[in-house]
Amino acid sequence: MLATFFSAALQGIEAAAVHVEVNAIEAGEPKLYLVGLPDAAVKESADRVFTAVRNSGFFCPLLRTTINLAPGTLRKEGPIYDLPIALGLLVATNQLQAVNFSDWLIAGELSLSGATRPIRGALAMARLARRLGKRGLLLPAISADEAALVEGVEVCQVDSLDQAVRFLSGKLQLTPIVATAARSRTKAPPAEGTIDFSEIKGQHALRRAVEVAVAGSHNLLMIGPPGSGKSMVAKRIPTVMPAPTLDEQLEILSIHSAAGRTLTGEAAWGTRPFRGPHHTISDVGLLGGGTIPGPGEISLAHHGVLFLDELPEFKRSALEVLRQPLEDGEVSISRSAGKITLPCAFMLVSAMNPCPCGYLGDAKHECRCTPTQIQRYRSRISGPLLDRIDIHVDAPALSLAELRTEQLGEFSGAVRARTEAARARQHARFSGTRVSANARMTHAQIRRHCALDAKLGDLLQQAMEQLGLSARAYDRILKVARTIADLAASESIEAPHLLEAIQYRSLDRTLFY
């Protein structure tokens, strides 16, 4: 007897429909055939499924059984087909008289006891089910909570193979998970000692630069000696960023779900991700890829912060792969298993020392680096990559008086209110376009929204010539000036806004050229 169930296969952060066809006949040698480009984990499902079926109170007759995962041109990976294969086997052997299984998209890993285990990519499967017009999904716990975040499709949690059988045979009613309830369960609990921007002592210029960077989603480079607070500032940047919109939140969670990460902590509902990979990370780990392409660190930081501490210590090849994603907000990965395009509209925050020992220009410590060592250290960051970082700011060492002060700085909530107001102006300005922040403006939008009068134009030209800045830096200055004007609620760019934006590029020549 032939039985067909509907499941899905992950392709990046999207899902494609898969038909799980199970056919069992008495003729021929008793044997199992699994076809349809399965990977090793899928091939191993036969042993898990047969054991789970027996331990759930059913039997596995010795028949010639063929399991086809269609379409055959699409690679299948992971144990997500255990549950639909087990259900198809029960239907094919007349142990289950299912009455409504064609309305459901089903996925789940089975333990040997028959209990279900979470899978990755549940959000993508929910969007697929909605596109296909399915009634809903049957998924394990946690995965069901993720899928329920997508509205317009029913999601039911099944904890075991036996529960799924009783539901599909009409003997059990399951209550679909409500989206609002799922969102409340995927919210991160308040952490003890939650970090706040007010904990940063001194560094007033750096705090201002961070506010400007967040307000326009600009990339930021902090340069200072060890212990000046660069990492501390970076980790608090998400606390001053505007809350993600519903669409942004679903994109964030889709990527983390496809990567097999649970919706807690940085991937929880209502939070923006913060990724801080070690400088030993590989190109694939940063960009994404693998035998079957999947998201890397830059995609996991989508709509959030990618923090690269000790920037010159990263491999040159790893840094250079960032150039195209920083421009386009997406990355295309081609492998033998296929080509995928992943979103990666992240805010790059990086930090570095002014020299290998870190004490160049420090009044309290002597720098013992030779000019050749300093030049070699700085040259690890290429000019094209540096041009893509909008704001360069100095982070000097703190004085003892600043360290001892008990006075708190401005709280994250106050800074976030200003960045949200600036972002609101940008959303209104770019309404109807794919651009959401000043840092993403196209050349045409720069000409339209960053127009300068003759006097300011001459001022910018003089600064460009004196600092030896590139044409790309010219556009970055205008974008940052537009953001500073938005923070000041100004309709046009004024001289103070432009001058502040120019001084954020002044480190180009002194440090790197």
- Give me the pLDDT at residue 189, please: 55
292's tokens: 């079957």
- Give me the pLDDT at residue 194, please: 76
Q: What is the mean pLDDT of the chain?
A: 87
Cα separation, 89 vs 49, whole angstroms = 9
Cα separation, 311 vs 378, whole angstroms = 10
- Domain C-terminal end among 185, 213, 248: 185
Q: Is the pLDDT assigned to residue 411 strictly greater than 50?
A: yes
- Give me the pLDDT at residue 402, please: 72
Domain count, the chain: 2
Residue 459 lies in a domain: yes
Residue by residue, what is the 3-state secondary structure of 147-174? HCCCCCCEEEECCEHHHHHHHHCCCCCC
CATH of the domain at 406: 3.40.50.300
- Give me the pLDDT at residue 427, please: 93
Residue 191 lies in a domain: no
- Give me the pLDDT at residue 483, please: 96
Average pLDDT of 212-240? 92
Q: How far is CA 265 from CA 102, 177, 189, 233, 307, in A?
A: 36, 22, 8, 19, 17
Average pLDDT of 223-228? 88
Q: Is the pLDDT assigned to residue 113 strictly greater than 80?
A: yes
Cα separation, 357 vs 330, whole angstroms = 36
Residue 351 lies in a domain: yes
- Give me the pLDDT at residue 57, please: 92
Q: How far is CA 86 from CA 21, 95, 161, in A?
A: 11, 11, 8
Residues 28 and 114 in one domain: yes
Residues 297 and 151 in one domain: no
- Give me the pLDDT at residue 511, please: 43
- φ and ψ at residue 331, rounded to 5 degrees: -135, 135
424's tokens: 């609101």
- Give me the pLDDT at residue 259, please: 83
Cα separation, 392 vs 398, whole angstroms = 19
What's the pLDDT tens digit per position in 244-301?
888 888 888 888 888 877 665 456 677 889 999 999 998 888 988 776 677 889 999 9
What's the pLDDT tens digit per position in 165-221?
999 988 889 999 887 666 666 666 555 557 888 888 888 889 999 999 999 999 999
Residues 65 and 143 in one domain: yes
Residues 112 and 206 in one domain: no
CATH of the domain at 21: 3.30.230.10
Residue, of 345 and 336, whose pLDDT is higher: 345
- Give me the pLDDT at residue 417, please: 94
Contact by Cβ (8 Å): 96, 28 = no
Residues 260 and 161 in one domain: no
Residues 20 and 165 in one domain: yes
- Give me the pLDDT at residue 508, please: 63
- Give me the pLDDT at residue 480, please: 95
Residue 190 lies in a domain: no
- Give me the pLDDT at residue 186, please: 63
- Give me the pLDDT at residue 513, please: 38
Average pLDDT of 147-163? 92
Contacts of residue 297, defined as CB under 8 A and 6 or more positions apart, other chains included, come to: 275, 277, 281, 285, 286, 306
Among the ranges given (87-91, 187-191, 266-270, 439-443), the one the predictor scored with the smallest mean pLDDT: 187-191
Which amino acid appears at position 354 of this protein? P
Cα separation, 499 vs 481, whole angstroms = 8
- Domain C-terminal end among 153, 185, 217: 185
Under the banding of pLDDT at 50, 70 and 90, the label for residue 158 is: very high
- Give me the pLDDT at residue 152, please: 87
Residue 486 lies in a domain: yes
- Give me the pLDDT at residue 300, please: 92
Q: Is the pLDDT assigned to residue 28 strictly greater than 70?
A: no
Residue 53 lies in a domain: yes
Residues 33 and 154 in one domain: yes
Residues 241 and 171 in one domain: no
Residue, of 334 and 171, whose pLDDT is higher: 171
Which amino acid appears at position 257 of this protein? S
Q: Is the pLDDT assigned to residue 485 strictly greater than 90?
A: yes
- Give me the pLDDT at residue 510, please: 47
Q: Is the pLDDT assigned to residue 63 strictly greater than 60?
A: yes
Contact by Cβ (8 Å): 468, 513 = yes
Contacts of residue 77, defined as CB under 8 A and 6 or more positions apart, other chains included, come to: 9, 10, 38, 39, 41, 42, 292
Average pLDDT of 445-470? 88
Residue 437 lies in a domain: yes
- Give me the pLDDT at residue 265, please: 47
Residue by residue, what is the 3-state secondary structure of 378-406? HCCCCHHHHHCCCEEEECCCCCHHHHHCC
Residue 91: give the domain boundaries: 2-185
What's the pLDDT tens digit per position in 352-375?
998 998 888 777 788 889 999 988
β-bridge mates for residue 157, sequence order = 139
Contact by Cβ (8 Å): 282, 318 = yes
- Range of 33-42, 299-308, 466-475 with top mean pLDDT: 299-308
Average pLDDT of 378-385? 86
Residues 21 and 62 in one domain: yes
- Domain C-terminal end among 138, 160, 185: 185
Q: How far is CA 357 from CA 220, 234, 370, 374, 511, in A?
A: 22, 21, 10, 9, 15
Residues 202 and 180 in one domain: no
Residue 80 lies in a domain: yes
- Give me the pLDDT at residue 201, please: 82
Residues 140 and 160 in one domain: yes
Residues 177 and 202 in one domain: no
Q: Is the pLDDT assigned to residue 20 strictly greater than 90?
A: yes
Contact by Cβ (8 Å): 67, 21 = yes
Contact by Cβ (8 Å): 146, 123 = yes
Percent of the chain with pLDDT over 70: 92
